[in-house]
Amino acid sequence: MKLLPMVMMAITAAMAFPALAQEAEHDYVGVAKCRTCHKKELMGNQVAAWRDGPHHRALETLKNEQSLAIAAERNLGPPHEAAECLSCHVTAHGVPPIRIAHDLDAEDGVQCESCHGPGRDYRKKKIMSDREVAVAKGLRDPAENERVCTACHNENSPTFDPGRYVLPDGTTMGFHFGMAKERILHPIPEDVKGKFVELEKKLKAEGRKVP
Ligand code: HEC
Ligand code: HEC
Ligand code: HEC
Ligand code: HEC
């Protein structure tokens, strides 16, 4: 019975802030907790692709000259410490500490969970390999959801350039979902997709290491 008022409050909050509704119950764990499985070659090593891509360096960028100039113009102090910059350049900025299950390293910039959703409840192998269950536990599919990207890729970015993306017909856009996705691809190999756990089991049964 005591729970009822809290449930009512949660429902009211979810209606008032629809963007928070789906995320509200899940906590962040950081890329360190995705690494165990997603750095494997068999899986397609998404961690390496991300590490070599633009998002991993997002905090580092806030320390360069261009950032210092932007911050100086706005009297913000050091940009890598300013909320006005960190909100899009690191994962889970401004999220209450109670929802951070493991400390995130700011040096890792924009991590997996900024796009795939906070991972504490979906990161177990059994859950991860059943997509429907994983989604129920907070996994987001950014493949079909442009808003995951435009939360940061929008005019509030001081370097947003309406001419950044040039379409084949010459049209320009500040952000183009399809083209942008192509620039950060990190797929599971086609012959592994949906079968990772099975293939891993087979290798282990043969006494082989999972690459
Ligand atoms: C609304 C989200 C958002 C905010 C707030 C934000 N950035 Fe960024 N930043 C981005 C995105 C997205 C990019 C990738 C390029 C683009 O579309 O602007 C980026 C790229 C950059 C770059 C690289 C330039 C380039 O052309 O790729 C610099 C430098 C930068 N940001 C500095 C800052 C500084 C300094 C602040 C704080 C004053 C800040 N950003 C605040 C989202 C943001
Ligand atoms: C900037 C957003 C972003 C970040 C950061 C990101 N991803 Fe993704 N991820 C995507 C998108 C978008 C797709 C879907 C691409 C497509 O199929 O169009 C995807 C797809 C995937 C897939 C499925 C691939 C497949 O073949 O079905 C896995 C696994 C994955 N990401 C894991 C990770 C891990 C692990 C990290 C961190 C190391 C990470 N992602 C970081 C946006 C992101
Ligand atoms: C949490 C904020 C955030 C989210 C969400 C996000 N990005 Fe980014 N993205 C950035 C920042 C910041 C940069 C600039 C990184 C740098 O150069 O330091 C960037 C840079 C990029 C770049 C290189 C610059 C460019 O525009 O060519 C691509 C491509 C990109 N992001 C694609 C995506 C895609 C696709 C998604 C959604 C699936 C996405 N991003 C979601 C913050 C974000
Ligand atoms: C204990 C192992 C393990 C951990 C830890 C793990 N994953 Fe996974 N993940 C998997 C497996 C297994 C699959 C399914 C692979 C397949 O297609 O067979 C998967 C699939 C995915 C997919 C693709 C889902 C789909 O079907 O579109 C994404 C995205 C993803 N993981 C992101 C993450 C992120 C982000 C983290 C960290 C918060 C993480 N994973 C942690 C094992 C793991």
Which domain CATH number covers 63? Answer: 1.10.1130
| Cα dist from 102 to 25, 27, 98, 183, whole Å | 16, 9, 10, 29
| Residue 59 and residue 108 in contact, taking contact as beta carbons nearer than 8 Å | yes
Mutation test of ligand 3: which of 68, 70, 149, 150 has the most ligand atoms closer than 8 Å to its C-beta?
Answer: 149
* Any domain includes 67: yes
* Any domain includes 11: no
18: amino acid identity, one letter: P
* Any domain includes 121: yes
Does the beta carbon of 135 sit less than 6 angstroms from any atom of ligand 1?
no
The reported pLDDT for the residue numbered 57 is: 98
The reported pLDDT for the residue numbered 17 is: 44
Mutation test of ligand 4: which of 102, 113, 123, 204 has the most ligand atoms closer than 8 Å to its C-beta?
Answer: 123
| Pocket lining for ligand 2, CB < 6 angstroms | 31, 34, 38, 46-47, 50, 55, 110-112, 114-116, 142-143, 181, 184, 186-188, 193
* Any domain includes 104: yes
CA-wise closest residue to 192 among 88, 40, 6: 40
Does the beta carbon of 33 sit less than 6 angstroms from any atom of ligand 4?
yes
* Any domain includes 195: yes
Return the minimum-mean-pLDDT range out of 8-12, 56-60, 111-115. Answer: 8-12
Number of domains present in the structure of the chain: 1
**Which of residues 17 and 60 earns the better pLDDT score?**
60
CA-wise closest residue to 162 among 176, 148, 149, 150: 176
**Helix, strand, or coil here: 56?**
helix
- How confident is the prediction for the chain on average, in pLDDT? 91
Distance, CA 189 to ligand 1 centroid (Å)? 32
Residue span of the structural domain in which 77 resides: 25-205
* Any domain includes 14: no
| CB contact set of 39 (below 8 Å; sequence gap of 6+) | 45, 46, 47, 48
Q: Kindly indicate the confidence band of residue 13, based on its pLDDT and cuts at 50, 70 and 90.
A: very low
User: Residue 35 is encoded by which pair of tokens?
Assistant: 């690494």
Does the beta carbon of 45 sit less than 6 angstroms from any atom of ligand 1?
no
- Per-residue pLDDT tens for 147-198? 999 999 999 999 999 999 999 999 999 999 999 999 999 999 999 999 999 9
Q: What angle do CA 54, 111, 173 make, to 5 degrees?
A: 45
| Residue 54 and residue 61 in contact, taking contact as beta carbons nearer than 8 Å | no
Q: CB atoms < 10 A from the CB of 85, how many?
A: 24
